[in-house]
Amino acid sequence: MPNTNFETGKLGEYICAMKLMKMGETCEIVNLDCVDIVVNRGEQGLVRLQVKSSRYKTKDKRTTKGYQFFTAYGLVKKPLTLEQCDAIAFVALDIERVIFESVVSVGTQKTKRFARAKFNIENLEIDTWANTLEGIYQ
């Protein structure tokens, strides 16, 4: 597993892009401001994704076991909004699974946590991507 935040982020982007491509999406890793991946939806336009990666946390006594993601940006952490991206991809690095959510559904949260069981749901990427697109294109 990668050791630096940069390597962790890069690995998450590659895992996310691979999952999207396996679902038939056309995407590119771009790393432009808060946008890590752009998905070309043809006539529907582009979807701007921010990718967040995490390893399974077991050692921190202050928090429960699971995956923790920071859903904010900048030195003074501000919540992501539609100005920065359309959706967030939460990547569990150790099991290479992805949960997609529209940035609107995340709201003003600066952190988001998931239990491991949440990442073990069948058809996880397909279902959460479909829900995310529905939220974006309403």
Question: Per-residue pLDDT for 33 more than 60?
Answer: yes
CA dihedral 120, 94, 115, 83 (to 10 degrees): -100
Cβ atoms of 14 and 22 within 8 Å: the answer is no
Name residue 50's amino acid. Q
| Tens-digit pLDDT profile for residues 75-134 | 888 999 999 999 999 999 999 999 999 999 998 888 999 999 999 999 999 999 999 999
What secondary structure does DSSP assign to 81-105, as a single string? Answer: -TTT-SEEEEEETTTTEEEEEEHHH
Question: Per-residue pLDDT for 13 more than 60?
Answer: yes
Q: Which domain holds residue 76?
A: 5-136
CATH number at residue 129: 3.40.1350.10
Give residue 61's pLDDT.
62
Radius of gyration of the chain (CA): 14
Task: Specify burial of residue 29 (Cβ count, 10 A radius: 0-12, 13-18, 19+).
Answer: middle
Cβ atoms of 89 and 52 within 8 Å: the answer is yes
pTM here?
0.92
Cβ atoms of 136 and 44 within 8 Å: the answer is no
- Overall domain count for the chain: 1
For the chain, what is the mean pLDDT? 92
* DSSP structural state of residue 3: -
Give residue 122's pLDDT.
95
Q: How confident is the model at residue 73 (pLDDT cuts 50, 70, 90)?
A: confident
Q: What is the mean pLDDT of residues 47-65?
A: 83
Give residue 8's pLDDT.
84
